[in-house]
Each structure stands twice: as structure tokens, then as C-alpha cells.
Structure 1
Amino acid sequence: MKKLQKRFDDFIALKSLKHTHQRNLIFDVFLNSDGHLSTEELYEKIKSIDSSVGQATVYRTMKLLCEAGIAHEIHFGDGLTRYEVDDSGKKHHDHLICTVCGKIFEFVDELIEQRQKELAKKYDFDLTSHRMYLYGVCADCRKKI
């Protein structure tokens, strides 16, 4: 977290922006939250801590975190923009998404990663990045159906 805090501080200084209590609070809450948050979900968490922080400030700060390489946007096809920590030290992962309750599971599978590299090589393709989202119904929701 200290490495990401330094990256954010350096980015704020580079952009000649102010270090504000509100930006720091949004940074802290985002980094200490589990899951994939939308700006609305993050705003609700922030509002319960400091009601003076506006939704627009949360939105703008998340854009700054993306520009700084600390967060990145994720689109799971439900119309919401969610954010995830973009920590280069974190192992690449993919997502399972329940289409009933919206629960999101992260997973790492070395076999899938290896197969993607093999396919790229087979087609003489320089693979620079990828994201995999698998949609279905989680065990909890299947019990209710």
C-alpha cells in the first residue's frame, strides 16, 4: 500500500494538484475494500465515513487513480463501470461472474494462461494483455432456483 500511496502522491504532484483529505480518504477506502467497486458503491462507503465528500469527487478521484496506474476500469457487461486495484505485483487473474446475484469471483489458472500464450505463438501474435470474464450462475443462486 505504501508503494501505491507514493505513486499517487507523485502523480498528484506531477499534475500540480492538491493533496486533499477527500482524495486521501477515497484512496484509502478504495485500496482497503474487497471486490470490484463501482463509483456508486465506493461513494456509499465514503459517505458513511465523511458525508462532506460528494459523488463527483469520488468519480474524479477514481479517474485520477486510473491515470496514475493505481486502478483500472472493468466492464462486466451489466452497464456499470467497476474499479479494481491495478497492482503490477499482483498475479494476473480472471473473473467468474454470477448473472443472477452479480457476485464476482477471481481465479488464477496457469493452464489457461499457458494455453493463451501457445495460441498467440501459433498465430504469430504479440500478446500484450488480456481479460477473461466467464458468466454463469453461482452455487448459492442455483440452490434458490
Structure 2
Amino acid sequence: MDATDTKNSKNMQETFKDFLSSKGLRVTNQRLAIFDAAFDHPDHFTAEDLLERAREIDDSVSRATVYRALPILTESGLIREVDVGRDYKFYMANRNVTTFQAQVICLDCDKIFEIDAPFMEWYGKTVADKLSLKVESQRLQVTAHCSELQSSGLCKRGGKRNS
């Protein structure tokens, strides 16, 4: 993490502290460790990934605390939840993304690719204007099979074709 990322992470942590206070929730070392673990993670992560990283920061972080903190972080807008249609979800830190993003999910290895999708802003506005609505959120999610896996039976990202 470079100096700019560290500064942004500290600003985001202050935002998280303010959010907790506004909800009447305590700012605890465990919640801050979970926040730091989420923002230090370079990619999408599961609750279990987050638990492992948070325990590296503060070994008193429990699984229950992580599972209680995730909805709080999501509600704050500081992390995004990504439902890939499995029995678990992925999360990703919201790092001031200024463009609209679409997610492409590999069904073979659960890898999530974020791609710029600037047309989504236009589409959301067009739909809202046509239906006289105010858009609260929008997302585009594409699921696909890895072409590498389909051709060779192996994917360098970890997927294996079921026989």
C-alpha cells in the first residue's frame, strides 16, 4: 500500500468511526481490525478470508464479530457485497471508484473481475427518466465459464472441470 492508499484508508477509517457513532455503536479495536483487514485486502474476499486477516491484526477478533460487522460495513457503503449465487458472499472495499463497474464472475473458480461499465450511468438515468423514478442503486453482473477450463480442463485461477 503506498502513501496515498494509506491516507485514503485512514480517511475511510474515520468515516467508519463516524458511521458507528451515528448508529450508536461502539468503536472497538475488533471492529477497527476488521475494517483494516477489509481495506488491506487487494481483491474480493469472503467472511472467512476477512476473519483470517483480521486475526493477524488483532487475535481477539471472533468469527461472530466478523459476521456482525459485515452488514455494518456494507450499510456504511465502505464495502460492497457481491452475491455470486453460492452459499457464501464476497465483499470488496469501496475505494472511491469513480466509474460504474460491472462484475464478471467465473462459475468455475469464483474469480470476480471488475470492469468499467460507463454506459450504466446513462442506462440508469434513461430508465429513471422514462419511469419517473429515482435510482438508488444499480449493478450489472455477468456469470461465465472459463474458456481455458473448457478447452484444457484446467484454469490457472484454480478451477477444474468436473468429470
User: Shorter-chain TM-score: what band?
Assistant: 0.7 to 0.9
SS in 1 for 2:138: coil
Structure 1 stretches of 5 or more lacking a match? none
- Name the amino acid aligned to 1:116: Y
Q: 1:127 to 1:116 in 2, by over 3 A?
A: farther
Please list every run of at least 4 consecutive aligned residues from structure 1 whose deviation after the TM superposition is greater than 4 angstroms.
Answer: none
2:28 corresponds to which residue? 20
> Scaled by the length of structure 2, what TM-score is found?
0.73
RMSD of aligned Cα (Å): 2.6
Structure 2 stretches of 5 or more lacking a match? 1-8, 154-163
Could you tell me how far 1:83 is from its partner in structure 2? Answer: 1.8
Q: 1:29 to 1:140 in 2, by over 3 A?
A: farther
Take 1:7 and 1:72, find their aligned partners in 2: how far apart are those partners? Answer: 15
Deviates most, 114-123 or 13-22? 114-123
Take 1:24 and 1:136, find their aligned partners in 2: how far apart are those partners? Answer: 36
1:3 corresponds to which residue? 11
1:80 corresponds to which residue? 88
1:85-104 alignment runs, 5 A limit: 85-87=93-95, 89-104=97-112
The aligned length equals 144
Contact kept, 8 Å, 1:37 with 1:82, in 2: the verdict is yes
Take 1:90 and 1:114, find their aligned partners in 2: how far apart are those partners? Answer: 11
> Scaled by the length of structure 1, what TM-score is found?
0.80
1:28-80, Cα deviation, whole Å (9 max, x unpaired): 11011122222112112223444321101111122221232212322111221
- Name the amino acid aligned to 1:78: R
**Residue 113 of structure 1, aligned match among 97, 112, 120:** 120
